[in-house]
Structure 1
Amino acid sequence: MITIFKTNINEEQESRVRQFLNLFKEILKVDFDFEDSDNILRIETVGDIATHVEVVLNSNGYFCKELI
């Protein structure tokens, strides 16, 4: 499953955010698109964990919202 999020994450914050995402064993792959105006976060997972990703990132001071 591939899920796409709009974020406020920038290149300087990427490594810190990846540390949070490494907590999810369901995540297979993480990609960022900083050239997009929405600072896209794209994750490939083995299940639907979009809400959990949003909660973790938002509670740590980042904006993260799934694009549907």
Structure 2
Amino acid sequence: MVTVFKTNVQCPAKAVFIVNGLLSEYPAFRINFDLEDCDRILRVEGNHIEINGIIASLQNHGYLCEELPY
């Protein structure tokens, strides 16, 4: 399962920091950013993705994050 989120993360270093933090919480997932996309996409691939937990994690770091529909 792949879930895609729209964010306002712009800095590549911050994106790496966020990905590393998410991977420490969800080590079985594949997680990456596409900062070149206008929606600053965060992609999460795995089973039983905790959408609200991922959104809350980014919000705790001061970023906007919302799930994009398929």
TM-score, normalisation: structure 1 = 0.84
Count how many residue pairs are aligned between Structure 1 and Structure 2: 68
Instruction: Select between 18-27 and 54-63 the one with higher mean Cα deviation.
Output: 18-27
Give the aligned partner of residue 14 of structure 2. 13
Whether the aligned pair in 2 keeps the contact of 1:3 and 1:42 (CA below 8 Å) is: yes
Task: Please give the root-mean-square deviation of Cα atoms over the aligned residues, in Å.
Answer: 1.5
Give the aligned partner of residue 32 of structure 1. 33
TM-score, normalisation: structure 2 = 0.82
Please state how far the C-alpha of 1:32 moved relative to its aligned partner: 1.3
- Percent sequence identity over aligned pairs: 32
Please state how far the C-alpha of 1:42 moved relative to its aligned partner: 0.5
SS in 2 for 1:22: helix
| Deviation digits for residues 9-68 of structure 1 (CA, Å, limit 9, x no counterpart) | 121311211122123236421121111110000010210311110011101211111112
Give the aligned partner of residue 65 of structure 2. 64
Give the gaps of 5 or more residues in structure 1.
none
Whether the aligned pair in 2 keeps the contact of 1:20 and 1:57 (CA below 8 Å) is: no
